[in-house]
Amino acid sequence: MSKIKPSKGAPYARILGVGGYRPTRVVPNEVILETIDSSDEWIRSRSGIETRHWAGPEETVAAMSVEASGKALADAGIDASRVGAVVVSTVSHFAQTPAIATEIADRLGTDKAAAFDISAGCAGFGYGLTLAKGMVVEGSAEYVLVIGVERLSDLTDLEDRATAFLFGDGAGAVVVGPSQEPAIGPTVWGSEGDKAETIKQTVSWDRFRIGDVSELPLDRDGNVKFPAITQEGQAVFRWAVFEMAKVAQQALDAAGLSPDDLDVFIPHQANVRIIDSMVKTLKLPEHVTVARDIRTTGNTSAASIPLAMERLLATGDAKSGDTALVIGFGAGLVYAATVVTLP
């Protein structure tokens, strides 16, 4: 018989507060059209994007995360010293080590909180939320800060017609803490590594370091391009539309709910057409509020769900206590879906 004492965590976990940060620079489609052969009408019709935010030199991954986290902590009414863990999902922190989460935890004033980064692309927020729920229930942390943050403008090839218009920057954060009733449902998550080539980095860091021009993509002036994110748009679209609606339904089933029980739907902000197709496939009732934050924020990968959640609550389109289905999906290919009660 094991001698290990049982954990003394909370019965359940919930999102207690949410915060977001969008860089000050707003970039309209006209700026994107300076480097690709396209049109504002084409970008809007294909993606729904009208503007996006791009970070300036001072708006680093850490700085944006601290701003969003401060708002989330204030919203939750929790002092940073009570945060037991900081989980940061990002693919655009360029230092291999240490994890940017450690700097964020220190700058926020936590009391030596556990801190680590995860790389799960556009599903990263869902992955982090699931880890946070486990920590609270298991008892290793009373409060956990989950951050999704990206500076995807640093990983955008402005000459790539398929992706130049897609990406934006920003940070979203939530505080996860104890609850006396279920408020974060079971997570349906997974990966399909056989489709990894559909969304990927153009050049690995080691190949870029070697710098053999014959092996690296060049820009119009013959200079070696910095590694960027590229994708097979049609393949990703088909996968997201046909497979992710199934995952979303599985998350509803796992929570014991039907579409009629939902108040809000917050999918990853990848493409308005994908969002609209999922709404149709899931047969969501008209009363369900659907996040379409992508129109003015673009695709911010791990940050997109918490940013969309924060905006819906700030505008009054969603309210505290609403039941929301959230789903993230992207590079890997990876996905994560769950049902939550909004803070």
Question: Cα(273)–Cα(238) distance, rounded to whole angstroms?
Answer: 11
Q: Tell me the torsion sign for CA atoms 29, 33, 36, 39.
A: positive
> The tokens of 37 are what?
């052969």
Question: Cα(201)–Cα(160) distance, rounded to whole angstroms?
Answer: 13
| Residues with catalytic function | 122, 268, 299
Helix (H) or strand (E) holding 243: helix 233-254
Q: Are 219 and 225 in contact (CB under 8 A)?
A: yes
Please report the DSSP string for 49-97 in residue order. -SEEEE--TT--HHHHHHHHHHHHHHHHT--GGGEEEEEEE-S----SS
Nearest to 147 by CA among 82, 79, 64: 64
CB 273: neighbour CB atoms within 10 A? 15
- Cα 56 to its chain centre, rounded Å, is 20
